[in-house]
Amino acid sequence: MTGLTAAVSYPTDRSDAVFRLVGEGEGDTYLKVLDVNGAEYNSLRDEAMRLEWLSSRLPVPKVVASGSRGGYEFLLTKSVSGVPAHDRSAGWNRQEVASLVGRALRRFHSVPIVDCPFRHPVVGPTCKEDQVLVHGDYCLPNVLFDAGRSHYLDVGEAGVGDRYIDLVAGIWSLRHNYGKGSVGNLLNEYGLKTLDRGKLTAYWRWWNSL
């Protein structure tokens, strides 16, 4: 790539490799690579399609290029600004992070689903009122904040599904990164007044089985 000055590899459990390509002029890009023969997750082609659809609806990375070659899929996207919710360098306390994550999830779930061509692959207990556009991997590293504005990463499993898919992931990730005691802040900012314990348990079991 013209102007490339460095390539930094990042560990990931969602693809074979992720590289940050440090460039000049137009900023950095991120390259995901996936072995299609051993892939356990949605293809990068699926993620590229979702990013294109979401681009006019939510702040997500812009697709530069995607395709396949030699048994591997690739996805090249522009970098987005912001600090991941799990990054303690931002100086947020547990309650602040929980509130930010809850507010960002409410925004994601507010996207109209009437014309959404994608569905989340998990089928579980649900009802019409809880059918929303779910992120599919709503963990703290996948939500970035920049001056209060949220950006969303890793949307390869985004689609219509039950809101508890994301609520469970967000609660689990919040506890994993910051400990217990701030789930109430997340739920308050999300706007959920009554928690369905049955659905929470069902989707929690699904999440722990991954």
Q: What CATH code is assigned to 6-78?
A: 3.30.200.20
Provide the pLDDT for residue 151: 97
CB 150 within 8 A of CB 107: yes
SS (H, E, C) 88-147: HHHCCCHHHHHHHHHHHHHHHHCCCCCCCCCECCCCCCCCHHHEEEECCCCCHHHEEEEC
The residue extents of the domains of the chain are 6-78, 83-208
Provide the pLDDT for residue 153: 96
d(CA 203, CA 200): 5
Q: Work out the number of other CB atoms within 10 angstroms of the CB of residue 181.
A: 12
Provide the pLDDT for residue 43: 85
pTM: 0.90
Provide the pLDDT for residue 124: 87
Is a pLDDT exceeding 90 seen at residue 169? yes
| pLDDT (mean) for 110-114 | 97
| pLDDT (mean) for 150-162 | 96
State the Cα angle at 119 between 115 and 123, rounded to 5°.
140
Give the pLDDT band of residue 162 (cuts 50, 70, 90): very high
Is a pLDDT exceeding 90 seen at residue 39? no
Is a pLDDT exceeding 60 seen at residue 9? no
Q: Which CATH superfamily is domain 83-208 in?
A: Aminoglycoside phosphotransferase (APH), C-terminal lobe (3.90.1200.10)
| pLDDT (mean) for 102-107 | 98
Is a pLDDT exceeding 60 seen at residue 147? yes
Is a pLDDT exceeding 90 seen at residue 4? no
Give the pLDDT band of residue 24 (cuts 50, 70, 90): low
Whole-number percent of the chain with pLDDT over 70: 88
